[in-house]
Every structure is written in structure tokens, then in C-alpha cells.
Amino acid sequence: MAYTLVYHPEVQTKDVPTLNRDVVKRIQSAIENRLAVEPQRYGEPLRRTLKGYCKLRVGDYRVVFRIVKSEVWIFAIMHRRDVYQRIETRLSLQ
């Protein structure tokens, strides 16, 4: 079953423009080949305040997402040192 990818608006405006082109290609490939096909297999569940969300690890970067029916909602693509501090403000705006 193929999943539809839905991106948070700030992923396109804030996250992706700050990344190196090679890193963007690696992350894009991982999202298309893993999350669009089997997100529950490749995603690792998050805990505590981010319970219900998952992460996909791509090198030093994390893709934070949630599976909703046949869609994968992608909320952030950030470096691992920043993602968990900055993601909660983005999720509270939903």
C-alpha cells in the first residue's frame, strides 16, 4: 500500500532550504523509498511528550512524522541536536 506524503508548511520553507543539496537528496530518497512504502516498518516511535509520533533516522538528520490512515504527515526534517527542542513548538501550532 502506498502512503500519501503530507508536509508541514515549515518543512518546505524553513527546514529544507538550510540543508546541503546532497543531504536533501539522501533524505528525499529515504522518504520516498521508506516512508511512502512502509512507514511503520522504518519509523521508530518517539516517547514522552512526542508519544504518537515517529522518527526516521537519515545520518545525523531526523524526519519526524505521524501515520494517519493512508497518509504520512511529515512535521520536521532537522539535525538531531536541534529537532527535539524545536519540534514541540511546531506541533503545538496544529
Per-residue DSSP letters for 24-42?
A: HHHHHHHIIIIITT-HHHH
- What is the residue range of 53's domain? 4-92
Q: What is the CATH number of the domain that holds 18?
A: 3.30.2310.20
Tell me the C-alpha distance between 22 and 40, whole Å. 26
The confidence band for 90, taking pLDDT boundaries of 50, 70 and 90, is confident
* pLDDT tens-digit readout, 18-66: 999 999 999 999 999 999 999 999 999 999 989 999 999 999 999 999 9
pTM of the model: 0.92
Find how far residue 50's CA is from the centre of its chain. Answer: 13
Number of domains composing the chain: 1
Q: How many CB atoms lie within 10 A of CB 50?
A: 18
Sheet hosting strand 4-7, strand order edge to edge = 4-7, 71-79, 61-68, 54-58, 44-45
